[in-house]
Amino acid sequence: MLEKYDVIVIGSGPAGYVAAIRAAQLGMSVACIEKWRTPEGKGVNGGTCLNVGCIPSKALLDSSQRYYETKKGLAIHGISASGIAIDIPAMMQRKTKIVSQLTGGIEQLFKVNGVDGLFGTGKLLVGHNVEFTSHEGITAVLKADHVILAAGSLPIEIPVAPVDGRLIVDSTGALDLDSVPKRLGVIGAGVIGLELGSVWGRLGSKVVLLEAMNEFLPIMDSGIAKETHKIFKKQGLDVRLGARVIGTELRADEVHVRYTSADQSEHSEIFDKLIVCVGRKPFTDGLLADGAGIELDSRGAIIVNAQCETNIPRVYAVGDVVRGPMLAHKGSEEGVMVAERIAGHSAQINYEIVPNVIYTHPEVASVGRTEEQVKEAGEPYRVGTFPFAASGRALAANDSDGMVKLIANADTDRILGCHIVGPSAADLVQQVAIAMEFGSSSEDLGMTVFGHPTLSETVHEAALAVNGHAIHKVNRKVR
């Protein structure tokens, strides 16, 4: 540990560790401070995403989907199976092994690139100084030319459903349940609620999602949201919209939940477990010393400009702790941008083209603007859609629920957005994100040769459909 660094990064989640590595690659001396530690007390990198977020949740999503397919989806292929059972401890061990492999990988990358990985807490002081307190309680003041704040986020708590860690858990606790609850309640039908509800629903829980908003997935294009809602209902997920929880009570080994519906009538449900997934908030507790001078907005997020610089020169903030969607890949790119700008490069991010994904099955993914946003802006547009039910590859895989929707400017044909619910939606929407980054038109995608049979042909056909040229579906008349 040095007394002075070119760059000190506080937080080693996807935004922080990427910023640290890139800054070191550009020749700077770098320290990255991480407070996370394992239940055994060992310091570990990766922040929320790798330890209790993106990675462990995707491991459980994959395991639960394989179990569900083995139990429910093999007969149609002519495959018989019996005695199918789920070993929850083994599934959790696999999740833990994946997390350990990836967090250990960050430690190795720090060593290779010359980043000083420090385990403990970091607090920004006045004058680009950082107070570092190790997990052993030893405190030192480190100096830096530049500071990058990447402290991440944490789950929002609600008074009507206080988390006790046993019967009522947050998204972190939901990743460590030791058995499959017969009756599972989820407060919030957003991205995290749907993913966690899907995991335990596939494993046998009767899942009820209580969503306070009257609209399902308002962050998504409404046409895709409606299609997604229909698919999830068919899968057995009970999503109740306009359901506002007004009270919870623990009785023995049950959670009694009271909620009001959209018509203000009162209802109750009894669950074996309740997951609270009402969103996340920026984590700035203990991050800023009194007098540090960093400005926060009304949500508690650190205010930054388009280049992620705070109101204090040479102090930056990236990832979940700043404005915008809380997405790991958005934070990572901000980390790279800041490191490059510190090094004197002119890096920037196109915030108009940041993909968003829900890793249910089928996946839900989007990039660019929704039809509602384009319409509200008064921009002339055309829409092309294509169903996975008309895809030979999707039918061959018995995975044909969903559709692709592509939106383009009616005058220039430039692609404005793409929204997908269906198999491999996360990867398919990335193809369109690349096209949008290069200013492509729907005609450009339509003139591109796509392999056959592939799921990506659905994107090709949706692009052709924008101008009424789809081959494998009936075209709407283009006005």
Catalytic residues: 452
How much is the CA Rg of the chain, to the nearest whole Å? 24
Q: How far is CA 221 from CA 133, 237, 366, 459, in A?
A: 45, 20, 8, 16
Total length of the chain: 479
By the 8 A CB rule, do 24 and 161 touch?
no
Contacts of 124-130 with C-beta under 8 Å, sequence gap 24+, read 124/10, 124/149, 124/287, 124/288, 124/289, 124/292, 124/294, 124/315, 125/289, 125/292, 126/289, 126/291, 126/292, 126/293, 128/314, 128/315, 130/8, 130/10, 130/33
Distance between CA atoms of 386 and 73, rounded to whole angstroms? 24
Which residues is 117 bridged to in the sheet?
Answer: 32
CA distance 184 to 272: 6
Residue with tokens 């004197």: 344
Q: Which two tokens stand for residue 18?
A: 């990427």
Kindly give the interhelix angle for 14-25 and 88-113, rounded to the nearest 10 degrees. Answer: 30
Give start and end residues of each alpha helix (H) in 385-451. Answer: 392-396, 425-437, 442-446
Q: Which two tokens stand for residue 389?
A: 């039910």
Q: Are 429 and 366 in contact (CB under 8 A)?
A: yes
| Cβ-contact 256, 249 below 8 angstroms | yes
Whether residue 86 contacts residue 203, with contact meaning beta carbons closer than 8 Å, is answered with: yes
* The two structure tokens encoding residue 238: 């009970």
CB 150 within 8 A of CB 16: yes
Order the strands of the 244-251 sheet from edge to edge: 244-251, 254-260, 266-271
Q: How many angstroms separate the first and last alpha carbons of the chain? A: 66
Triad 7, 10, 11: Cα angle to 5° = 130
Provide CB contacts within 8 A for 120, sequence distance 6+. Answer: 33, 34, 35, 43, 132, 133, 134, 135, 136
Amino acid at 132: F
CA distance 152 to 48: 7
